[in-house]
Amino acid sequence: MTFLLRKPLASATRRIALCLLTFSALDVTALAQRELKDIPVPNAEVEKATFVVDEGWQAELYAGDPAMAKPIHMNFDNHGRLWIASSETYPQIKPGEPSNDKIIILEDSDKDGKADRTIVFADGLLIPTGVLPANDGDKASAYVVNSDQLLYLRDTDGDLVADEKKVVLAGFGTEDTHHLLHSLRWGHDGWIYMNQSIYIHSHIETPWGVERLNGGGIWRFHPETKRLEIVVRGFVNPWGVHFDRYGQMFATDGAYGEGINYAFEGSVFVTAVGAKRLMTGLNPGSPKHCGLEILSGSHWPDAIRGSMVTNDFRAHRVCRFQVTEDRSGYESVQQAELIKTPHVAFRPIDAKQGLDGALYIADWYNPIIQHGEVDFRDPRRDRT
């Protein structure tokens, strides 16, 4: 489901939309799922009624079932359309069954804050974990992570349905479906940045040679030169990367914690094998977080502009951090949650600011998360 939060101001209205995905490491919250018996009936309005929203904000539903199901990752194109990587197959395909995961485009054509048009841009995918509109012409196109491949999909006839497919890169590891290549985002430098998690071993042949990453880290890929590079090594499950207006890079980790992480080319974090020095996060002791967005634009008040928004999917919270320069690095201070709820199926996992100035949050919506301690086929899993 996708929720929209608005913050009324004297001169403007701000919005946040939620779409959630949850890929977690084993912890107390995950273990508690084994005894979970009170499974809520999927209902967006019932879920929304449980939200405790920060003062001045209001939550609205932007899109939900049947327009979309199980959003893993999302990004906006330059027309203001929201692209969703959707997987009802996760965490594992049933033997013998075809996979039909999708890339979905949502559009609010009448600008009333609710999606009124749904287009399936591509289907027949297997656990797509990232989508990034290419914005490289008058026809719709996107880079898509499909298991072990980075694809380039393009619509050639203007119907917003992909009819051209190219495998750009192949050889990314698939050992663990909640650690696959993910979280695609354009950098200020024109490269595509992508995250990989700890249980993945990737060996990718490129025109510049074979690139290997065994474990967690952040890649970058240049679409024109086809060069692929490792920018950051380490992390456990880095599920969020973003850049501030100066091009400084920040990341979150859905299994390691420490809140907001300041990263840069050549930086090394926990789990990197053989590292002599390790970077630490800006919020030691903080819970694990998923997704990352920086609230930018003059429509945000001074107290909010520049804040970083991420999701504590285990505790059913959308969190905000104020990050400021501190000598040669940064200081991060957590602020009041934008949303918190006792609803066990609310699982925020991605956050993006739309062209309309609203903040969109993806809700994976599932009482059961992870797949290390609960059976893949557990009937309590919500797959729609």
pTM listed for this prediction: 0.91
Query: Distance (Å, rounded) from C-alpha 5 to C-alpha 270?
Result: 35
Res. 15 pLDDT band, cuts 50 70 90 = low
Domain 2-70+89-96+172-363 has CATH 2.120.10: yes
Query: Distance (Å, rounded) from C-alpha 307 to C-alpha 242?
Result: 12
What pLDDT was estimated at residue 66?
A: 87
What pLDDT was estimated at residue 7?
A: 56
Res. 375 pLDDT band, cuts 50 70 90 = low
More reliable by pLDDT, 29 or 286: 286
Q: pLDDT, tens digit, for every residue of 293-303?
A: 999 999 999 99
Q: pLDDT, tens digit, for every residue of 118-170?
A: 999 999 999 999 999 998 888 999 999 999 999 999 999 999 999 999 999 99
Cβ-in-10-Å burial (0-12, 13-18, 19+) of 78 comes to exposed
Where do the domains of the chain lie? 2-70+89-96+172-363
* Residue among 354, 355, 378 nearest 367 (CA): 378
For residue 215, what are its two tokens? 């474990």
Q: Are 378 and 368 in contact (CB under 8 A)?
A: yes
Q: Are 193 and 219 in contact (CB under 8 A)?
A: yes
Question: Is there a cis peptide before residue 8, judged by omega within 30 degrees of 0?
Answer: no
